[in-house]
Amino acid sequence: MSNIVAIVGRPNVGKSTLFNRLIESRKAIVDGVSGVTRDRNYGKSVWNGKEFSVIDTGGYVVNSEDVFEEEIRKQVHLAIDEADVILFTVDVEGGITDLDQEVAAILRRVKKPVFLAVNKVDNNQRILDAPEFYGLGLGELYCISAMNGSGTGDLLDALVSSFPKKEAVEVEEGIPRFAVVGRPNVGKSSFINALTGVDRNIVTDIAGTTRDSINTRYTKYGHDFYLVDTAGLRKKARVNEDLEFYSVLRSVRSIEESDVCMLLIDATRGIEGQDINIFNLMIRNRKGVVILVNKWDLIEKDTHSVKKFTEQIQERIAPFVDVPILFMSALTKQRIFKALEIAIEVYENRQQKLKTSKLNEVLLEAIEKYPPPSVKGKYIKIKYVTQLPSPTPSFALFANLPQYIKDPYRRYIENQLRDNFNFSGVPLQIFFRKK
């Protein structure tokens, strides 16, 4: 499970520029997943072999004058709650502002690692202006230029070496970890309560001091599983959760810690942009996915309702439509047991390791039937396929000219895999490699 770094700071100091720089190292690596677009505010990075997530909290702030300071305060508190490491960015050009002071005052009380990046130090002259920021009382300064990259290597070295040692989370291998996610009021707590028979709305409100997440093990209905219960879920909203960003940010950690995510959608509202953002977060993290349309009891149903809802959802989540969709009610407990069963099935689909012989038998035939189109008169030959030994299903296809194989063909291969094996609810990675 990777650490989460949150970038905070007032507008225009260069947070999004820094965000892009931090995730750059990773961008170069082809993801191998079809149809996943880059998120402007959430990304994965790797430095000195340590993987971590980066969140640009600023990207979500509403840019209107009066909500300004209040929003930044919320942003900082949320970063404190949800991230492992805080990266506070200031701008050397403007010197210390009131808002910087205010953020620093909050951060000085935080027990998590806080790094102070003085940005826009593009040249030696500006290094002379930087020491002013010691005045924020946050210790060491990291002079950087997000724009040209100088100083970011040292910052990253320090950042990744500060990562708290994850307490060896006492989870037993081979037992699925489920996360229940969705926007506010969709019924997450109700569903968890119904499933476990325990009221889990424990309120804890001390910033940055609570354990970030708890995996509680259950044996229910003859199944053994963990529910990932994050601080974000337990704590009742300190911030206005209507803002899309907050519920997305609150989902990040539970998603990262789980094997399979149950995404709740409110039947009375249908699938919306915010749901899609959370969905994409799951896919980007290559988690198993089950979509649960909750509050189904409130819908006036006819014989077409399920079909209509299903089509609407599939339209929004395309191209990854091989996802189980279930209609349930946390209130009446209709199909909550079924939801658990399906999540377990997705977990098993995600665990499976295909035999190389079977894989080649199926795929090579499909490839022969529809070979990759030749490029510039060059004939592309795929010789064999193997499943990689990674924790989530990923496949390597060895070819003479892998660089010429384009995304539509990757999608064709993915569809063949899905048609011939059961990968329902499971994102697949497909790589083309040189042989």
List the binding residues: 9-16, 56-60, 119-122, 182-189, 229-233, 294-297
| 3-class state of residue 394 by DSSP | strand
Of 7 and 359, which CB lies nearer to ligand GDP in the complex structure? 7
- Under 8 Å CB-to-CB from 364, ≥6 apart: which residues? 382, 384, 385
Structure tokens at 136: 């924020």
Cα 208–212–215 angle (5° rounding)? 160
Give me the least distance between CB of 146 and ligand GDP, in Å please. 4
For helices 68-82 and 98-107, give the axis angle rounded to 10 degrees. 30
- Please list every residue from 46 through 65 that binds ligand GDP, using CB under 6 A: 58
Give me the least distance between CB of 333 and ligand GDP, in Å please. 9
Which of 15, 177, 253, 286 touches ligand GDP by CB under 6 A? 15
Strand order in the sheet with 213-220: 213-220, 223-230, 177-181, 260-266, 288-294, 325-327
Build a one-symbol-per-residue string for 167-196: x at contacts with ligand GDP by CB under 6 A, - elsewhere: ---------------x-xxxxxxx------
Build a one-symbol-per-residue string for 337-376: x at contacts with ligand GDP by CB under 6 A, - elsewhere: ----------------------------------------
Helix runs in 258-335, H state only: 273-284, 305-317
Helix runs in 303-355, H state only: 305-317, 336-351
Which of 16, 305, 351, 416 touches ligand GDP by CB under 6 A? 16
Which of 290, 330, 359, 385 touches ligand GDP by CB under 6 A? 330
Rg of the chain over all Cα atoms, to the nearest angstrom? 23
Structure tokens at 77: 């508190």
Which of 2, 17, 210, 310 touches ligand GDP by CB under 6 A? 17
Considering only the stretches 215-223, 251-259, 323-331, 411-419, report the one whose residues sit in contact with ligand GDP under the rule CB under 6 A: 323-331
Build a one-symbol-per-residue string for 126-145: x at contacts with ligand GDP by CB under 6 A, - elsewhere: -------------------x
**What type of residue is 170?**
E
Q: Does 29 bind ligand GDP (CB under 6 A)?
A: no
| 3-class state of residue 68 by DSSP | helix
CA-CA distance, 138 to 108, in Å (whole number)? 6
Q: How many CA atoms within 13 Å lie on the side-chain side of 132?
A: 18
Q: Does 281 bind ligand GDP (CB under 6 A)?
A: no
How many other β-carbons are positioned within 10 Å of the β-carbon of residue 285?
A: 19
Which of 230, 277, 294, 349 touches ligand GDP by CB under 6 A? 294
Q: Does 122 bind ligand GDP (CB under 6 A)?
A: yes
Known binding site for GTP: residues? 9-16, 56-60, 119-122, 182-189, 229-233, 294-297
Comparing C-alpha atoms, which of 314, 338, 350 is closest to residue 426? 350
Considering only the stretches 14-22, 66-74, 164-172, 421-429, report the one whose residues sit in contact with ligand GDP under the rule CB under 6 A: 14-22
- Please list every residue from 385 through 424 that binds ligand GDP, using CB under 6 A: none
Which of 12, 97, 123, 403 touches ligand GDP by CB under 6 A? 12
CA-CA distance, 278 to 252, in Å (whole number)? 8
Comparing C-alpha atoms, which of 221, 224, 212 is closest to residue 177? 224
Of 17 and 210, which CB lies nearer to ligand GDP in the complex structure? 17
Cβ 220 vs Cβ 195: under 8 Å: yes
CA-CA distance, 201 to 231, in Å (whole number)? 10
The residues binding ligand GDP (CB under 6 A) are: 9, 11-17, 58, 119-120, 122, 145-147, 182, 184-190, 294-295, 297-298, 329-331
